[in-house]
Amino acid sequence: MQHPSPPADFFTVVDTQRALRRFRPDPVPDALLARVLSAATRAPSARGAEPWCFVVVRDAALRATIGAHYRRAFEAGAAFAAATDADRDVRTRPHYARMMRAAEDLALHFADVPVLVVCGLDHAQLGPLAAPDGTLRAPAAAYASVFPAVQNLLLAAHALGLGGTLTTLHRHFEAELKRLLAVPAAVEVVAIVPLGWPVDRPGPTRRKPLAAVAFRDVFGRSFEG
Amino acid sequence: MQHPSPPADFFTVVDTQRALRRFRPDPVPDALLARVLSAATRAPSARGAEPWCFVVVRDAALRATIGAHYRRAFEAGAAFAAATDADRDVRTRPHYARMMRAAEDLALHFADVPVLVVCGLDHAQLGPLAAPDGTLRAPAAAYASVFPAVQNLLLAAHALGLGGTLTTLHRHFEAELKRLLAVPAAVEVVAIVPLGWPVDRPGPTRRKPLAAVAFRDVFGRSFEG
C-alpha cells in the first residue's frame, strides 16, 4: 500500500520526532493507520518470529473505560514519584515542566484521543527467551522483539503528520485492560500509543551532547574526542 | 551534522530494513557512525531521561575477546535450542534456514566485524521504574527507554548503506563484557549491534499479513476486515 503523503526524508523524520500528547478530534483514516501498522511489522524480532500484536481501539466506550483507568494510574504514578522524589535527577532540566504539563493533559483527556494502539508481546512466540509457562528467561532480549516495532509505529505516524507518544502506565491496570480487549493470557501488553492529529508541533528535539552518551572502545572515553 | 548520503525516503528505509550479518572489511568512517549514534539519541525515553549509552568498539583486541565470547554463547544457545526444540514454531517458515546460516556466519566471524556498538541502559536514570538498588520495578517500561534508540540506530545505519543486526547473546557473558569495557555496575548491556558495509542486500522483507497481527477494538477482530 502506498502512503498518501509526500515522501518524507528519513533523517528529518528521526530528528524531529517528539512526544505529542494533545490531539485534535479529527478522525484518523484507516489507510493511514494501516500504513503505520505495516511499518511497525517491518521491525526486527528474535528468530524472525514477529511476536507482536496491535489492537487499534477507536470504540468510544472502550476508550472511556481505558481512559478512566489511565487517569487513575497517572495520579497514582504522580503521587509515587512525589513521595519518593523519583524525578529529582531530571526535574531541573529544561524539558521537564513542559513535559509534565503535557503528560497530565494526556492523562485527563486519554478517553478523547481518536485512536489508542494497544501493543502486545506474545510470550508464546519467543522460543528459548521464555519458559513454557511464559516467564521471560531473558527480559531484555524479549523486549528487543517488540519495542523496535513500537518505535517504527511512532516514526511512521510522525512521517504521516500524526502525533503520538509511547506510554506504559497501563502496567497498573493490565489485567483489566486484557479482559476488556480479550487479549490472550500469553500476550503481555507492553505499551499504549495514543495517536491523532497533533495540536502541538513536532521537533527538532533537544538532546544531551553525543559526548555524554557515546564512547570509544571503553566506557567513558569520548567517541568524539 | 549533515549526513553525506543522498536523502533516503523514510518508508523505503523502514520497508527494506533487514538483519545483515556478513560484512566487508572496509572501514566505516567516524562521520557515519556519529550520524548513526545521533539518530539513536533522538528516540523517546521515559521522563526524557535519555538513559542509554553506546560504546563503539573498533579496537581489534577487544573485538577478538568479545568475538570469542560471542561464538561460545552462540554454540551454547544453539545446543539449548536443539535440546529443547525451542524453534519448532518457526523452523518450517521460509526465512528460517537462511537466517540460521547467516546467524552462524556472524557468530564465527564476530571478531572481524569492523564495528561493534555495545548498547547500554543505565538503571540509575530510570527514576521510579527502578528501585534504588537498580532492580527494575517495571521491566517492559524500562526497556521501552532503550530499544527505540537501538532501532533508530539500526534504521539510520541502513539509511546510510550500512548493515547491522540486533543481537542479545551477550547476556551469556555480560559480566565479562562489562569488565572488559569498564561499563559501570548500574548500566545493563541490552544489545550488541555489529555494523559494517554489508555483503548481502537489504530487503524488501517478508512479513505475516497485517490481518494476523493487527486487530480492531478487540483482540482477534481483523483490523482489515
- pLDDT tens, position by position, B73-130: 999 999 999 999 999 999 999 889 999 999 999 999 999 999 999 999 999 999 999 9
What mean pLDDT is predicted for residues B17-28?
97
Residue B1 has pLDDT above 80, yes or no: no
Query: Given pLDDT bands bounded at 50, 70 and 90, which one contains residue A1?
Result: very low
Residue A123 lies in a domain: yes
Question: Number of folded domains in chain A?
Answer: 1
B152 in a domain, yes or no? yes
Q: Is residue B132 part of a domain?
A: yes
ipTM of the complex: 0.97
Task: Answer yes or no: is A39 within a domain.
Answer: yes
Cβ separation A81–B127 shorter than 8 A: yes
- Of all residues in chain A, the one with the smallest CA distance to B188 is A140
- For residue A2, pLDDT over 70 is answered with no
Please report how many Cα atoms fall inside a 13 Å half-sphere around the Cα of residue A83, on the Cβ side. Answer: 6
Lookup result for grid cell 561493534: B116
Most A CBs within 10 Å: which of B219, B223, B224, as the mutation test of the A interface? B219
Q: Name the minimum distance, in Å, from the CA of A69 to any CA of chain B.
A: 17
Mean pLDDT of all residues belonging to chain B: 95
Residue A161 placed within a domain: yes
For B31-44, the pLDDT digits (tens) are: 999 999 999 999 99
CB B118 within 8 A of CB B54: yes
pLDDT at B185 over 70: yes
> What pLDDT, in 10s, does the model give residues B126-172?
999 999 999 999 999 999 999 999 999 999 999 999 999 999 999 99
Q: What is the mean pLDDT of residues A16-27?
A: 97
B66 found inside a domain: no
pLDDT at B4: 46
Chain B: residue whose CA lies nearest to A188? B140
Residue B177 CA: distances (Å) to CA of A139, A217, B57, B192? 18, 12, 12, 11
A99 lies in some domain: no
pLDDT at A225: 61
The burial of B8, by beta-carbon neighbours within 10 Å (0-12 exposed, 13-18 middle, 19 or more buried), is given as buried
How far is Cα A56 from Cα B222, in angstroms, rounded to an integer? 10
Q: Which residues contact B191 (CB under 8 A, 6 or more apart)?
A: A140, A144, B118, B119, B147, B150, B166, B167, B168, B170
Has residue A66 got a pLDDT over 70? yes
Average pLDDT, chain A: 95
- At B169, which CATH number? 3.40.109.10
Residues 6+ apart with CB under 8 A from B8: A9, A10, A11, B159, B160
Q: Flag whether B170 is in a domain.
A: yes
The pTM for the full model equals 0.97
Q: Are B1 and A28 in contact (CB under 8 A)?
A: no
Domain that includes residue A151, residue range: 10-58+114-213
